[in-house]
Amino acid sequence: MSTASEIDIDHLLSMTGGDIDLAEEVIDIFRQQVDIWSRMLNPAAPASQWADAAHTLKGAALSIGAHELAERCQAAETAGRDLPPSAAGAALLLNDIKDEIAATLEACSRAVHTLSRPGLRASKASNS
């Protein structure tokens, strides 16, 4: 599991027009997407299934600035679509995603904490 997993808060705020409440909502939506789509990251399933899940998770990761997770999802998506790996190879790719999901969810908690700081809210409100 990567310890460098972070949410790019500047990117997230850029995507949400600086609206901190919306940024927090986007993080909540990301968490819901992870809950739904991570269930499909099963190496025993057809490669198209987990490649589709990786694709969707990549988009969700990019929306919050979770670049590490997006990269791992991209690797699995490409492998699943181009030349599906063996079950063991798929398990390695998908476990990398799952490990990064755990790190990213922790980073989401840190990001929400950062976004909730009164100073940040005041500075963003005064810039509006």
Structural domains of the chain in order of their starting residue, each with its CATH number: 9-127 (1.20.120.160)
| Residue 20 one-letter amino acid | I
pLDDT band at 2 (very low <50, low <70, confident <90, very high): very low
Provide, rounded to the nearest whole percent, the portion of the chain with pLDDT above 90.
84
pLDDT tens track for 9-49? 999 999 999 999 999 999 999 999 999 999 999 999 999 99
State if pTM tops 0.75.
Answer: yes
Q: Encode burial over 81-96: b for 16+ CB neighbours within 10 A, e otherwise.
A: eeeebeeeebeebbeb
